[in-house]
Amino acid sequence: MHEATLILPAPAKLNLFLHILGRRPDGYHELQTIFQFLDYGDELGFRLRDDGEIHLHTAIAGVPHDSNLIVRAARRLQQEAGTPLGADIWLDKRLPMGGGIGGGSSDAATTLLGLNHLWQLDLDLDRLATLGLELGADVPVFVRGHAAFAGGVGEQLAPVDLEEPWFLVAVPQVSVSTAEIFCAPELTRDTPAIRVCGLPEGGGHNDCQPVVEQRYPEVRNALNLLNKFVPARMTGTGACVFGSFPNHCDADKVSRQLPATLPSFVAQGRNVSMLHRKLQALVQEVNA
């Protein structure tokens, strides 16, 4: 990472609730959710290349170089902009794969915004979000960088301003397959749509949670443990589960009472992502 000239965060997200309204003809699910960012995540480093090559210098177990969302995002941006430039990329991976906190999608969005900045392409957020959607349904919210009420497959976004509590996020040591959960015959697919672009009465629920609890005892156990201290919920299609606290100290106190077999981290909810804060600061530096 020390060779990078631009270092940017790729923050985690939580789905504060996840309602599945139905299945669409294309096989995707119509859903409603609220995304909020955390001030915790992966970190990516970039360095300009003038030979058009894209090199990700960090290997991810089980993910071939060319299939990695970071590499795919970089190449898609090259193609869209018609740029001859390339990049060396490094990844400091902190977010678990299959955790439901957006690791891969966030990395892809940071790549799109980071290289747009490094290559001086000046593509606007609408174009970058459209490119992001080709890579995954959760990429656009990271590209836009604001907490949002989402519909469609998660790409129809309305910005929301939420309280920014502290979250304790527990990380069961299991990777949950999103495709498996969305294909499960027992998944509830008829939750009525809510009209308000905000948290529903009682905070809503996660329709995927009962399916994951049934199939992954590690997630069920984590929810049971966390529920002893605070109302706990799963994010996305799992595996991570979370509870909210008014301050860092309370969240930290509970995290220290969790067993060593259940890793966790404490982070604050953020309505504007750390990535956008950092990019804004860089632009201000240049203009100063």
Rg (CA), the chain: 19
Q: Where are the alpha helices (DSSP H) in the chain?
A: 69-81, 103-118, 125-135, 139-144, 178-183, 209-215, 217-227, 248-255, 274-287
- Nearest to 123, CA basis, from 73, 161, 49, 51: 73
- Catalytic residue numbers read 13, 138
Residue with tokens 């509870």: 243
What is the chain's percent helix, strand, coil content, to nearest 5? 35, 30, 40
d(CA 256, CA 262): 11
Beta strands 54-56; 86-92: pairing state: parallel
d(CA 43, CA 41): 7
Residue with tokens 């990695």: 68
SS3 assignment, position 16: strand
